[in-house]
Structure 1
């Protein structure tokens, strides 16, 4: 038996540094790959006349797997990373040997959420990211108890957000607002699936996580107490334990 590598896709508006606290504990058991997504962190934003789309970001992931000569992986993602993992499953299901869906949901944006993302893209175009993007997102990204008791973690998240390239933030916001509903995709999926959610997640709440877990036959749902939307930062030990307890041992094809 050979464990498939684990690819972890980060949340918006962050980069792969959000996995720092879980990367080493997981890497002592598995091969772990944590790429920055296009236009964020250290990943460039390709020049293109195409409308921003998660399908293009999914192609980036497939290109990465090709470059690393990985036929199949377990694909994990937090929030936007979960949306992207589902986009890869839609685009190239043969490359996905398992799913780890962390603080994410299968539903598309509501009209209000889609408008909010458009507003973000337009404001970033006018003002850059500055300090406003972090201030607008922090209350929803971290549980109230986290923000109160762990100011150092709040500052870490703030620094990651404020370091993001404005063009990448704008592209991603526009790509996210047009993503399709993925619940039917999950229902048709036959891959082992783990769903992790913070008990206090206001963006993708426990109900949304339960809906995904119920859609996939045999899926495992783990709810982490006293954590919000960024469980890999707020409860890294809980995330690591959940992944290692579940991780499917499979033969690589």
Structure 2
């Protein structure tokens, strides 16, 4: 029945939607005219990030998706954060998670897989922190409380971006200001939450919604190998490496991120409409 419905929709448009074929809707404007409702697109930030992390994506997709940015409550448990987001999020959504936002995606999927239409993950991992990394997080928490959050995060910021941006003081200062907006308590609580997170390999293997994985080519915090592992676990996931980007591709390479997210968001759109 579902195949018939999709076939009818495609034939009614007079086009077979094969990626790269040149047939069918080729851009967001055409998709927008075909679909009667915008797809809810939920962006989940990473540590010490907020709406500003997704500024380029929010502007780009505003005309063709119903964009949401998840708040990150000051909890020291990722499961509680996931539950708080699910309590207020749309009934169903396409989720985009970066870094800690990726871990939260897994926690949300574990609780409510039926609410995910699609999933995009970047700068993240399925692995739990090893003892050394967990200790380093707790040390950063102590240092943030004794020396201040901005100084602590500024010292760590250089390894969060591509090496070519490591000395770009204007760009790094912009990131530090985002940390100021989020606040010290959120930084500390979220570091503790990540230090105690479980391994998400089994959750990733259970994902059935269309998924894409984006890795920054110069990401030191979560190297490309971490993303390839996720892509191998999630059935039929697509995988792309973003050149000249580190741990923050939405800010470092916004045009490429937008292109990959657009391909992911509108691929198989008829299948979603026919559910």
- Flag whether TM exceeds 0.5 (same fold): yes
Distance 1:226 1:135 in 2: 21
Q: Structure 1 residue aligned with 2:180, among 145, 158, 162?
A: 162
Equivalent position of 1:105 in the other structure = 125
Q: CA deviation at 1:246?
A: 1.4
The aligned counterpart of 2:105 is: 85
Change (3 A) 1:76 1:20: same
| C-alpha distance in structure 1 between counterparts of 2:60 and 2:146, whole Å | 41
How many aligned residue pairs are there?
236
Residues 54 and 237 of structure 1: is their aligned pair in 2 closer, same or farther, counting only changes over 3 Å?
Answer: same
**1:146 Cα offset (Å):** 2.0
**Corresponding residue number in structure 2 for 1:131:** 151
Contact map agreement 1:4 1:251 (CA 8 A) in 2: no
Question: Paired residue for 1:59, among 64, 77, 83?
Answer: 83
CA distance in 2: counterparts of 1:251 and 1:178, whole angstroms: 38
Q: Deviations over 1:75-127 (max 9, x none)?
A: 11110111111110112112112111011111111111111111122223333
Alignment-derived partner of residue 9 in structure 1: 44
Question: CA 1:242–1:161 in 2, change beyond 3 Å: closer, same or farther?
Answer: same
Is 2:178 the partner of 1:143?
Answer: no
Q: State yes or no: 1:224 paired with 2:248.
A: no
Local SS of the residue matching 2:166 = helix
Could you list the runs of 5+ residues in structure 1 that have no partner in the other structure?
40-44, 46-51
Query: 1:60 & 1:252 partners in 2: Cα distance?
Result: 29
Q: 2:60 aligns with which of 18, 25, 29?
A: 25
| Structure 1 match to 2:273 | 251
Contact 1:187–1:215, Cα closer than 8 Å, also in 2: yes
Higher relative contact order (CA 8 A, sep 6+): 1
Larger radius of gyration: 2
Task: Name the CA distance, whole Å, in 2 between partners of 1:188 and 1:126.
Answer: 42
Question: What RMSD in Å do the two structures reach over aligned CA positions?
Answer: 1.8
Residues of 2 paired with 1:24 and 1:78: CA distance?
18
TM-score, normalised relative to structure 1: 0.87
